[in-house]
Amino acid sequence: MRVSLLTVLLLPTLFASAVEAKLYRWEDEYGNVHYGDKVPAKYLKKEHKELNEQGTLVKEHDRAMTAEEKKAKREAEEEKRRLENERRAQALRDRVLTDTYTTERDLIAARDARLDAIDSQLQLSRELIKNTEIKLKNTQQLIENTKAQGLVVPEATYHKLEREKLALANHKGLQEGHMIKREEVIKQFDDYIKRFRELMAEKNKKREAYEKRKLARERAAKGLPPLEQ
């Protein structure tokens, strides 16, 4: 059989065209299935499939999402990222916790030390409040006595009274802050201790599982039967 030079030169082009030939499958709004080498524009945003010449699925095109679906997808992705960030943050906190404290006794000692420091500040605040209340009461009594004698109370005395009232308010505010801090420390270390116990229980569980596997391997190597569970 004789083949022309032109045919030989066109073979690669014809082969490439055959390879690149595409077939699409889509459904119309009535559920009827259609096939063709091009999807009509009105169905491009709907679900359709790309097939090869043998009818094998090459690529599947999902339908375009609605605005509500896009929003739901974004929210789901954001929630996934948030949970992953929380997981990483918790893993970091756990590592710091176990690196900082070796035993639960260490945690309790650290908590008590923090509470002792706060209690010292509370005691100081109580003393300052008590002393300031005495000063304030004396200044008020001085003003009342001066007025009772028909004398004019000096402006400096009124200024002193206001300073003492302000100092008393400040001391009480600091005392309240120390009390809040004390409760926060208790709550914080209660959480630390609870999490520390959980981590230690997980660690012990893994260690026990490892020891069981190790023992099982050793018994198997010696030809001994496995231990009953």
Q: Is the pLDDT of residue 12 over 60?
A: no
Residue with the bigger pLDDT between 21 and 51: it is: 51
Note the pTM of the prediction, 2 decimals.
0.63
Read off the pLDDT band of 149 (50, 70, 90).
Answer: very high
What pLDDT was estimated at residue 106? 97
The β-bridge partners of 61 are 48
- Comparing CA positions, the residue from 108, 92, 99 lying closest to residue 188 is 108
Q: Is the pLDDT of residue 133 over 80?
A: yes
3-state helix, strand, coil split of the chain in percent (to 5) is 70, 10, 20
Q: Is the pLDDT of residue 96 over 80?
A: yes
**DSSP letter at 44?**
T
Contact predicate 51/57, CB 8 Å: yes
Residues 6+ apart with CB under 8 A from 57: 49, 50, 51
CATH class as words, domain 103-201: mainly alpha
Residues in the chain: 229
How many angstroms separate the CA atoms of 57 and 51, rounded?
Answer: 5
Going from N- to C-terminal start, the domains of the chain cover 5-61, 66-100, 103-201
Residues 6+ apart with CB under 8 A from 101: 107, 110, 192, 196
Q: Is the pLDDT of residue 54 over 90?
A: no
How many angstroms separate the CA atoms of 163 and 180, rounded?
Answer: 26
Q: Name the average pLDDT for the chain.
A: 86
Helices 104-148 + 155-221 axis angle, to 10: 170
